[in-house]
C-alpha cells in the first residue's frame, strides 16, 4: 500500500520540496491531505494534480465562494481549526508540518495525539512549548523526524553513534547576506537586501530570521528539545558554502560531518521514508564538487539575536516562547517598514525583560506567554525601547 502523507503548508518551500518527492516516488506515497493559508490558485493546482482526500484553506478570512467545498473528489475545509482535523486522518502515516510560526503548534499536538510520524519543519512548536511537547511524546506512539536540514543531518549522525562517545553537536549557518557587511551599516539595510539569502530559497519570515541568525538561535533551542543536549553542548558555526549541515564532535576529539547539496529534498525524503532508507540517488554531489569549505565562529556583535536565543533557552520555562513570539512580531514590523533591521533583536530583548518567565504545566500557560509577548511587542512604545549596545 502507498503511504499517506499530509502536508501542512504545501505552498511554501518545504511543502514544494515534499511535493517534488511525491512526484518522484508515486508508487510509494500518496498525498492524503494538504493545507495552504490563502493561496487559492496554488491550492487548486495541487488538488487537481494529486487528488487528495482533503484540502484545508487555513485562513479564517478566505473567500469560500472562490473554490467552494469540493474540487473533483477533494473535500475543502476552511479555517485554522481544520489543520487539527486533517492530521488525524487514519489514511495518513506521515504529517509534514511546514507551516510558519506558532500556528503549527496545535496541529502538531493533534498529530501527536493521533500517533502520527511527524516530519517537523515547524521549529516554533518545540521552541514555544518544548517541555509540553516532550511530555506528550513520552505517552504517544508518535515520533518526530526533523526536516530542517541541520537537525535532520544531526538526527542521521546521532542515530548511528554510541551515546557515551558524544561530546557536542554543531549546527551550521550560512551567515546570511550581511556576513561581510560592516556592522555600522546594518541599521541601513533594506527589506529587499535582507530578503536575498545567499544559499537557500525560503519564505520571507525565515529569510529575515536567517539574515540576523535568529533562525539559527531558534534552531539551537529546537535542537535542545529534539536531542536532549544542554545549551553548553550545542554549538553554531558559520559555513557559507552550506554543504555541511551538521557536525557531531566526539569525546576523543574527532568530528563527524553530514554533507549534501543544499536542497531540501534530502531531509524531506529521509523523513518520508524513515525508518527505511531512501532507495535511490536524489542528486549527485561528490566531494570533488564541494570546493573550499569554511567554518567560522559567529560574531555576536553582528548577530545579537543568536546570543539572545541562547539566553532564552538557558532560562527555560516560557522564555523561549516569549523570544519566538516577539521575534515573529518584530520581523513583521520590519517587513512593513516600521522598524530597522537592527531593531529586531532590540525589540526581542525589551520584551524578554518585561514579561516574567514562568514554568507552566499545560499548553495554555505557554500560549498565554505567547499572547502577552505578541501584544507587548506590537505596542511597545518607541520611546521606551532600550537599545542593545
Domain containing residue 123: CATH number: 3.40.50.720
Output the nine-digit C-alpha cell for 173: 549557518
For the stretch 47-77, pLDDT in tens is 999 999 999 999 999 899 999 999 999 999 9
In DSSP notation, 3-25 reads EEEEEESTTSHHHHHHHHHHHH-
Per-residue confidence (pLDDT) for residue 145, from 0 to 100: 98
- Asked whether the predicted pLDDT for residue 389 surpasses 60, the reply is no
SS3 content of the chain, % helix, strand, coil (to 5): 45, 15, 35
Per-residue confidence (pLDDT) for residue 226, from 0 to 100: 97
Binding residue per annotation — 321?
A: no
Binding residue per annotation — 328?
A: no
The 8-class DSSP code of residue 187 comes to G
Binding residue per annotation — 16?
A: no
Q: Give the integer Cα–Cα distance in Å for 241 and 260.
A: 11
Q: Give the integer Cα–Cα distance in Å for 378 and 350.
A: 12
Find the range with the poorest average confidence among 4-8, 252-256, 308-312, 376-380.
Answer: 376-380
- Sheet order of strands, 117-120 included: 70-71, 74-78, 54-57, 29-36, 3-8, 94-97, 117-120, 143-146
Per-residue confidence (pLDDT) for residue 203, from 0 to 100: 79
Binding residue per annotation — 85?
A: no
* Residue 326 belongs to a domain: no
Binding residue per annotation — 135?
A: no
* Residue 217 belongs to a domain: no
Domain that holds residue 42: 3-146
Binding residue per annotation — 251?
A: no
**pLDDT, average across residues 24-49:** 96
For the stretch 85-138, pLDDT in tens is 999 999 999 999 999 888 899 999 999 999 999 999 998 899 999 999 999 999
Binding residue per annotation — 122?
A: yes
Find the range with the poorest average confidence among 50-64, 197-211, 355-369.
Answer: 197-211
What's the pLDDT band for 388 if we cut at 50, 70, 90? Answer: very low
What residues contact 115, with CB distance under 8 A and at least 6 apart? 140, 141, 142
Output the nine-digit C-alpha cell for 234: 550545542
Cα angle value 241/243/248 (rounded, 5°): 120
* Residue 176 belongs to a domain: no
Binding residue per annotation — 39?
A: yes
Binding residue per annotation — 13?
A: yes
Binding residue per annotation — 216?
A: yes
Q: Give the integer Cα–Cα distance in Å for 290 and 285.
A: 8
Q: Give the integer Cα–Cα distance in Å for 314 and 75.
A: 45
φ and ψ at residue 358, rounded to 5 degrees: -125, 170
Binding residue per annotation — 117?
A: no
Q: Give the integer Cα–Cα distance in Å for 7 and 364.
A: 26
Binding residue per annotation — 101?
A: no
What's the pLDDT band for 261 if we cut at 50, 70, 90? Answer: very high
Binding residue per annotation — 357?
A: no
Per-residue confidence (pLDDT) for residue 382, from 0 to 100: 62
Q: Give the three-class secondary structure for 57.
A: strand
What residues contact 164, with CB distance under 8 A and at least 6 apart? none
Q: Give the three-class secondary structure for 143.
A: strand
**Number of structural domains the chain divides into:** 1
- Asked whether the predicted pLDDT for residue 250 surpasses 60, the reply is yes
Tell me the pTM.
0.93
For the stretch 328-351, pLDDT in tens is 999 999 999 999 999 999 999 999
| pLDDT > 90: percent of the chain | 90
Per-residue confidence (pLDDT) for residue 384, from 0 to 100: 52
- Asked whether the predicted pLDDT for residue 199 surpasses 80, the reply is no
Binding residue per annotation — 175?
A: no
Amino acid at each position: 500500500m502507498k503511504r499517506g502523507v499530509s502536508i501542512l503548508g504545501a505552498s511554501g518551500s518545504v511543502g514544494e520540496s515534499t511535493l517534488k518527492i511525491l512526484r518522484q516516488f508515486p508508487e510509494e506515497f500518496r498525498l492524503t491531505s494538504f493545507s495552504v493559508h490563502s493561496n487559492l490558485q496554488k491550492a487548486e493546482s495541487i488538488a487537481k494534480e494529486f487528488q487528495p482526500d482533503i484540502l484545508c484553506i487555513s485562513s479564517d478570512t478566505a473567500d469560500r465562494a472562490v473554490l467552494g467545498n469540493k474540487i473533483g473528489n477533494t473535500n475543502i475545509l476552511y479555517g485554522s481549526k481544520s489543520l487539527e482535523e486533517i492530521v488525524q486522518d487514519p489514511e495518513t502515516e506521515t504529517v509534514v508540518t511546514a507551516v510558519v510560526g506558532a500556528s503549527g503548534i496545535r496541529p502538531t499536538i493533534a498529530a501527536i495525539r493521533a500517533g502520527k510520524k511527524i516530519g517537523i519543519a515547524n521549529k516554533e512548536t518545540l521552541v514555544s512549548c518544548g517541555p509540553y511537547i516532550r511530555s506528550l511524546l513520552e505517552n504517544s506512539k508518535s515520533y518526530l523526524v526533523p526536516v530542517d536540514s541541520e537537525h535532520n543531518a544531526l538526527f542521521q549522525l546521532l542515530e548511528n553513534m554510541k551515546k557515551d562517545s558524544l561530546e557536542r553537536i554543531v549546527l551550521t549557518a550560512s551567515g546570511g547576506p550581511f556576513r561581510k557587511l560592516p556592522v555600522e551599516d546594518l541599521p541601513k539595510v533594506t527589506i529587499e537586501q535582507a530578503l536575498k539569502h545567499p544559499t537557500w530559497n525560503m519564505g520571507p519570515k525565515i529569510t529575515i530570521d536567517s539574515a540576523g541568525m535568529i533562525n539559527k538561535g531558534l534552531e539551537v533551542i529546537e535542537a535542545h528539545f529534539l536531542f536532549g543536549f544542554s545549551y553548553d553542548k550545542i554549538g553554531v558555526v558559520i559555513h557559507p558554502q552550506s554543504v555541511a549541515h551538521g557536525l557531531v564532535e566526539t569525546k576523543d576529539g574527532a568530528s563527524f560531518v553530514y554533507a549534501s547539496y543544499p536542497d531540501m529534498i534530502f531531509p524531506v525524503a529521509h523523513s518520508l521514508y524513515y525508518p527505511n532508507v531512501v532507495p535511490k540517488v536524489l542528486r549527485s554531489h561528490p566531494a570533488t564538487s564541494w570546493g573550499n569549505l569554511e567554518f567560522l565562529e559567529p560574531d555576536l556583535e553582528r548577530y545579537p539575536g543568536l546570543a539572545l536565543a541562547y539566553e532564552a533557552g538557558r532560562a527555560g520555562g516560557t522564555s523561549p516562547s516569549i523570544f519566538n513570539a516577539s521575534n515573529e512580531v518584530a520581523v513583521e514590523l520590519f517587513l512593513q517598514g516600521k522598524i530597522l533591521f537592527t531593531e529586531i533583536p532590540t525589540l526581542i530583548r525589551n520584551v524578554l525583560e518585561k514579561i516574567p518567565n514562568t514554568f507552566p504545566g499545560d499548553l495554555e500557560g505557554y500560549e498565554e506567554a505567547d499572547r502577552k509577548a505578541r501584544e507587548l511587542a506590537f505596542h511597545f512604545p518607541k520611546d521606551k525601547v532600550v537599545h542593545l549596545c
